[in-house]
A and B are shown apart, each in its own frame.
Chain A
Amino acid sequence: NFILTQPHSVSESLGKTVTISCTRSGDSIASKYVQWYRQRPGSAPTTLIYEHDERPSGVPDRFSASIDTSSNSASLTISGLETEDEADYYCHSYDNMNHGIFGGGTRLTVL
C-alpha cells in the first residue's frame, strides 16, 4: 500500500506565495490522479484542484498544482496569500485497489 505525506504546518506572509508538498510512498505519484482540498475551521472541505492540476470553476487561478515524478510528489501553490487562505489543506489520491487515501493535512498560517 502507500501513504501520502504532507508537512504538518506551513506559514507565509500576506501577499506572498506558499507551496505545500504531498509525497507519495509505495508507488508512482503519476499512477493515480491527485486532488487538493481546503477545509476552513468548522466547515466542510472544498475542492481546489482535481486530476493533478485542474481547477473547478470558481476556484481562482491563485491556486495551482503540479506533480514531480522525480521526487514522487505533488505540490499545491497558493500565490497572493489572503487571510481567508488560513485553513487545512489535504491532498488525496487512490491506491491500486481504488481505495481513497488522504494526506495527513497541512495547516496554513498566513502571517
Chain B
Amino acid sequence: QVQLVESGGGLVRPGGSLRLSCAASGFSFSDYYMMWIRQAPGRGLEWVSYISDGSDYTNYADSVKGRFTISRDNAKTSLYLEMHSLRVEDTAVYFCARAGRYPASALIYWGQGTPVTVSS
C-alpha cells in the first residue's frame, strides 16, 4: 500500500535551516506530482509547495517563496524540502502528500507529518 514517511523535523533557531525528507513507497513515484502542506499548532492546513513528476515544474506559496526549495529524487523515491531563513511563523507540522499527474490536482495520500519548531 502507499506509504509516505516524513523525517527531518526538529527545533531550529530563527534564521536557521532545515531539510525535510519524505520516503515514498507502494506506488510509481516518478509518475506523480508531490506536495508539501503544513499545519501550524491549532491552525488549519496551508499549502506550501509542489513539484512535477520529472522535477520540471515547481510552485511555492508566497509565504515561503525564495526561502524554501522543493526537490525530489525519483531513483530514491524521495521528496525533499530545503528550508532556509526560518521564521517563528514557519513552526508547523509538515506533511508530504502524493497528488495526481497534473498541477492543481487532489492530494490523495498523506504522510503522518514531521514537526518543525522555530524558536530561540
Which A residues are within 8 Å of any B CB, using their own CB?
A: 32-33, 35, 37, 39, 43-47, 50-51, 56, 88, 90, 92, 94, 97-105
Contact = CB atoms under 8 A, between A and B. Distances in A.
Contacts of B46: 102
4 nearest A-B pairs in the assembled complex, by CB-CB distance: A100-B47, A50-B106, A94-B104, A105-B44
Main secondary structure of the interface of B (DSSP, over half): loop
Given A98-B59, A100-B35, A100-B50, A47 B45 contact: no
Contacts of B106: 33, 35, 47, 50-51, 92
B68 interface: no
B32 interface: no
Q: Contact size class for B?
A: 20 to 34
Interface of B: 35, 37, 44-47, 50, 59, 61-62, 95, 103-113
A34 B103 CA distance: 13
Contacts of A92: 45, 47, 106-107
